[in-house]
Amino acid sequence: MDYRKVYEKWLTDPSFSEEIRQELKALEGDEAEIQDRFYRQLSFGTGGLRGLLGAGTNRMNVYTVRQATQGLANYILSMGGAAKGVAIAYDSRRMSPEFAQEAALCLNANGIQTYVFESLRPTPELSFAVRHLGCMAGIVITASHNPREYNGYKVYWEDGAQILPPHDKRIMEEVGKISDYSQVKTMEKEEAKEKGLYHVIGAEVDDLYMEQMKKQIIHPEIIQEMAGDIRVVYTPLHGSGNLPVRRALRELGFTQAFVVPEQEKPDSAFPTVAYPNPEDENAWKLALHLAKEKDADLVLATDPDADRLGAYVKDKKSGEYKSLTGNMSGALLAEYILRERARLGAMPESPAIVETIVTTDMAKAIAKEYGAALTEVLTGFKYIGEQIRLFEENQTCQFLFGMEESYGCLAGTYARDKDACVAAMMLCEVAAYYKKQGKTLWDAMLELYEKYGFYKEGLATVTLKGIDGARQIQARMERLRKEPPKTLGGYKTLAVRDYQADARTDMQTGAVTPTGLPASNVLYYELEDNAWCCVRPSGTEPKIKYYFGVKGKSLADAGEKLERLKGDMLGCA
């Protein structure tokens, strides 16, 4: 693509708005910025679009959203799905309502029914709505936990999970065929409504979603007894979790829930956080301040589309608030669900937990303890959603819980994506359960370490932007493929899994066997003594990600081992 020619076309083509053209005129002289905006078409990846907001082919704007939607529309029409329609939700980010409407009107212009939420909703509610309404697909306008300058466009299929093969590839092919914005259809909203194509949804779906969420509760009697004693501080980080999380806690009887006032209302500028991500410790300043003021047992935060949950819990001995990683909160929930179901005789036949390959190995030990199957999938909750469908279709296992290290989990099968709302609700239940025993969630976490071992995990990311950054990321992956490290952090490398080649190579014997998972640009190193590390490019940001896991004799020992492993891996990368 000759980026200069495309830039000039956008400057002069009347198809583009005057506002867009003025934005681009202001860039004249900044060749690097022009190149970055036009050197490629914003990639429609396996989940959809995500990118910086702004004018240009490599940006999120009305035109790239319409282009993606036209490709999706063409595929839905080829599948005979026009009457089943598409459910559409959006979060609090800049341009999210506008992009949601543009997507709906493009679909309507192609004769496809749409069901658009009346206001912002969590991503997992969209997953629920797709199946509840019997839609062919779903769209969520969100950039999830990315910085405020981003927005995105995620596509779901009729099973309620994000698109997977073969649908993702075929939709990408259809999007790729839209070579000119004149090929994109749209229509006026009033006309779409008159033709019975544009439908607004809201409270009815909210009520059913909430009803299904609350069915995941195991001990309502303990909540009733202890809810008034559990003090919870919650922040939606200016996103879509505020109403559903507070409603769930209120309806269950938690009366001591306090919302961070400065972060309660949706705000696309995210004025109190540079990075609205519960994984980022800087996002917790206001919540932890309020927690100390209220003497909270539990501090919760959801990201803008409310599919990720972060937590801090109080340590009675030190009086400090301890951070729970996604691995830790997931392990607490998995243990609670399996243990209490087993104790009550409520365990289904062939129970199963699903986790991603970069999630804590403690989950394997927990599953084994209670006789549950554990399935590993590639990084991305869509693969966990896929397993729910496969379990049902093949009548093999009963899905109970799914978790990934990046602060995402799901209890039950009402949705097919991670749900921070149900995670918040259930973590409050677990807190009530342990408080009845005179324990905190931190006490419970320490008990898990004593029971299963001191598992500790870490993540390091390296950001490499632009064309050169993409090349550097690719070069790093190629180098690691050609020269796999024989030792890492003092651990011998036992095997290397190259998911792109579908090959697991035993470093001792040289034997090669299939990984058994779909092709993906991921390298995984099995190390001695239950240690491991994994590397992959991010699918949504210009980053390369390094994951690490160890098992120590104590928390301190595990921490030291993890730091050695991390330093060695980053050094050889």
φ, ψ of residue 375 to 5 degrees: the values are -110, 135
User: Which DSSP string do the residues of 226-242 spell out, in sequence order?
Assistant: HGGG--EEEE-TTSTTH
User: Tokens 């005129």 — which residue?
Assistant: 25
| Close Cβ partners of 545 (under 8 Å, ≥ 6 residues apart) | 459, 460, 461, 535, 536, 537, 538
CA distance linking residue 379 with residue 359, whole number of Å: 9
Determine whether 554 is an active site residue. Answer: no
**Of 92, 96, 127, 144, which residue is the catalytic one?**
144
CA distance linking residue 107 with residue 102, whole number of Å: 9
CA distance linking residue 288 with residue 365, whole number of Å: 32
| Residue 13: count of CB within 10 angstroms of its CB | 13
Which of 274, 308, 312 lies closest to 296, judged by CA?
A: 312
Q: How many angstroms separate the Cα of 317 from the Cα of each of 314, 320, 376, 440, 443?
A: 9, 8, 36, 10, 10
> Which amino acid does the sequence have at 21?
R
Beta bridge partners of 335: none
Task: Let me know the angle formed at the C-alpha of 29 by 26 and 30, rounded to the nearest 5 degrees.
Answer: 85
Query: Please, where are the H alpha helices in 437-510?
Result: 441-452, 466-482
CA distance linking residue 393 with residue 412, whole number of Å: 16
Secondary structure class of 522 (helix, strand, coil): coil
Beta carbons of 106 and 70 less than 8 angstroms apart: yes
Q: How far is CA 515 from the centre of its chain?
A: 24
Q: What is the CA radius of gyration of the chain?
A: 24
Beta bridge partners of 458: 548
Structure tokens at 71: 């490709």
CA distance linking residue 104 with residue 246, whole number of Å: 29
Secondary structure class of 553 (helix, strand, coil): coil
User: Which DSSP string do the residues of 138-172 spell out, in sequence order?
Assistant: EEEE--TTS-TTEEEEEEEETTSSBP-TTHHHHHH
Q: How many angstroms separate the Cα of 309 from the Cα of each of 246, 279, 388, 404, 425?
A: 14, 9, 21, 11, 11
Which of 564, 568, 519 lies closest to 165, judged by CA?
A: 519
**Catalytic annotation, residues:** 144
